[in-house]
Structure 1
Amino acid sequence: MDTASISPPPTHDWHPAELFEPRQASRTDDSHDVDNKRRAGAPRYAIIILNQPLADNLDRVKHLWDHACIRVAADGGANRLYHVGGQRGDAFFDALDAIVGDLDSLAADARRYYEARRGPDGQPTRILRDPDQESTDFGKAVAYVRAWHREQHKGDGAPLDLVVVGGLGGRVDQALSLIHHLHLFQAGGDDRRDGEGRTAREAGPSGRVYLFSGDSLTFLLRAGRHRIRVRSPADAEDGGGEKSGEKSGDVFGKHVGILPVGEPSRVTTRGLEWDVTDWETRFGGRVSTSNHILPETEVVEVETTKDVVWTMALRGVEGS
């Protein structure tokens, strides 16, 4: 084969700060106006609430909620919304589209509350029980969101990103399960089973999956080249309000990690305090944790031979 004819792998551009940037579009605006603004550059995403406390960084949770195009709670995630919202007399989280799962964790008071509420489309909040024990509540919520997206946007091929709130908190086994699901869902699969009990990956476009834990944002970098914009040019040039190398407009803190979950990888980075070149990373060997984004860096570049998990701290969190 003529190696000169082989195209280089594509470069994937990431703009995670856009999720947290102030903007006018919200679910309460005219739907056509919202769609136009999203097409003009605002990210298009669904939000899934997991069964983890929401008190940490609640303002950012509210921002993500306000600008999501569909809102779903995975089983006991509805309890968490109720505890920080309706139970306190705050209606902010009332407009919930659906509660999805086996419902073994859904509290009676939260269920009664949302049974009396309506989603943003004016329809009652859907409470959908799926008893399948071969899939997780998280997986069922993802499958619901993607089915909704296919129905709403037939033929346009536009991907829908997922922002998962509550990721990587709580029990270690649940946190590792979420990392596993990053691999599954970023590939476009739903956590379903076919007739022979095998995980079924549905064909079709899928968006990017972000795990938001209140103090960090985590996502999967598939084998290839990636450019991760960690701050806007205005932030990098802003000389005021510096703290520990951060600028006043930064969304993210300085700490990042690159984790070789699944299999060893060889990684090259540019834009970090401790950059590496063709560096082997594997569990039981070397892993990159507590690395730092340089104050002048706008875009971090990562090349990886295998899938790795990228995690970055949010600004204002202790230790970030």
Structure 2
Amino acid sequence: MGNLETLWEPAFITSKLLHRKIAHDDFPSGFPSGSSSQYAAVVVNQPIEDQQLLLDILAGATLTVFADGAANYVKDLKLTEPEEQNTIPDFICGDLDSIRPEVRAHYKEKGTKVIQDLDQYSSDLTKSLRCVEKNIQSPMHAVIIGGIGGRFDQGFSQLHHLYTVSHESMLPHGQIFLVNPQSICFLLQKGPNRISTPVGPGLFAENIGIIPIGRPSVINTKGLEWDVTDWHTEIGGQVSTSNHIKRETIEVETSERVLFTIEMDRSQEQ
């Protein structure tokens, strides 16, 4: 399909590797080198489904941004003093119509910069990603916490904005991942994509999905239980869900951007 290959290494978000400096030897054999644990964490304005996942991701982040009312949900958690210190964001961004006044004052006292953006044509998530772009010193990924949980309409809104911002120049050398307690999802780029998918406790389970949330697409896959060739996929037609990983690195070539979801295996935390 003519595009350069895009490499994805989402395992840095899994419980086995969170807030550890990732070296090639940390991964199963065959995992590509060049991984980086440098990422910005963005918490969206939704109830916190998994407190421990939130704490783990924030502990490993280079930069932390709360999207407006997300600050309310984090402030209302029952945290120890060390845990609370690790959840102080660098920035709170958005139109600030949701954050409670006392929460805003609390974080400002802790040194958080509060940035009001009244642009009515962008969401608080988009504003927060712009904040990340303006305040990072080197390329890094963005991990969005809670982007596909909570209210169903809000989940679709986050996917819509993920699709939209992938057109823009923000994080030109970084990738954007949405995380909930069960799964990680991200938008595969047009052309060939290679995704590192180590399966095992603290890494990934075998279940993945490839969802054409924008335009219909034609895909080719390698490394799945049910691989396809020149396969047309669209909402209302054929959609690949509940497929299974069969290799440590899988390949997906696509004519349009498609949403890729992969289930995390958090069994080592039990």
Distance 1:307 1:40 in 2: 24
| Correspondence for 1:218 among 170, 178, 185 | 185
| Deviation per residue, 1:130-181 (Å, 9 max, x gap) | 22222111111111111112xx35xxxxx32111111111223322222222
1:10-49 alignment, distance < 5 Å: 10-20=4-14, 21-22=17-18, 24=20, 41-49=35-43
Distance 2:85 2:256 in 1: 41
How many residue pairs align between the two structures? Answer: 253
State, as a whole percentage, how many aligned pairs show the same letter.
Answer: 36
Distance 2:12 2:119 in 1: 36
Per the alignment, residue 29 of structure 2 pairs with: none
Question: In angstroms, what is the RMSD of aligned CA positions?
Answer: 2.3
Residue 63 (structure 1) shift:
2.3
TM-score (norm 1): 0.72
Distance 2:175 2:91 in 1: 21
> Does residue 267 in structure 1 map to residue 219 in structure 2?
yes
Q: Judging changes above 3 Å, is the alpha-carbon distance between structure 1 residues 265 and 24 closer, same or farther for their aligned structure 2 residues?
A: closer
Q: Judging changes above 3 Å, is the alpha-carbon distance between structure 1 residues 176 and 189 closer, same or farther for their aligned structure 2 residues?
A: farther
| Conserved 8 A contact 1:270-1:300 | yes
> Does residue 306 in structure 1 map to residue 266 in structure 2?
no
Q: Judging changes above 3 Å, is the alpha-carbon distance between structure 1 residues 281 and 110 closer, same or farther for their aligned structure 2 residues?
A: same
Per the alignment, residue 136 of structure 1 pairs with: 123
Distance 1:247 1:94 in 2: 29
1:213-292 alignment, distance < 5 Å: 213-231=180-198, 247-248=200-201, 250-292=202-244
Unaligned regions of 5+ residues in structure 2, if any?
22-32
| Conserved 8 A contact 2:43-2:67 | yes
Once structures 1 and 2 are overlaid, which stretch shifts more, 64-73 or 106-115? 106-115
Unaligned regions of 5+ residues in structure 1, if any?
1-6, 26-38, 118-123, 154-158, 191-203, 232-245
Per the alignment, residue 172 of structure 2 pairs with: 205
Q: Judging changes above 3 Å, is the alpha-carbon distance between structure 1 residues 275 and 213 closer, same or farther for their aligned structure 2 residues?
A: same
- 3-state DSSP class of the match of 2:7? strand
With a CA cutoff of 8 Å and minimum separation of 6, indicate the structure with the bigger relative contact order.
2
The structure whose Rg is larger is 1
| Conserved 8 A contact 1:227-1:299 | yes
Q: Judging changes above 3 Å, is the alpha-carbon distance between structure 1 residues 303 and 214 closer, same or farther for their aligned structure 2 residues?
A: same
Per the alignment, residue 243 of structure 1 pairs with: none
| Conserved 8 A contact 1:227-1:301 | yes
> Does residue 76 in structure 1 map to residue 69 in structure 2?
yes
Residue 210 (structure 1) shift:
0.3
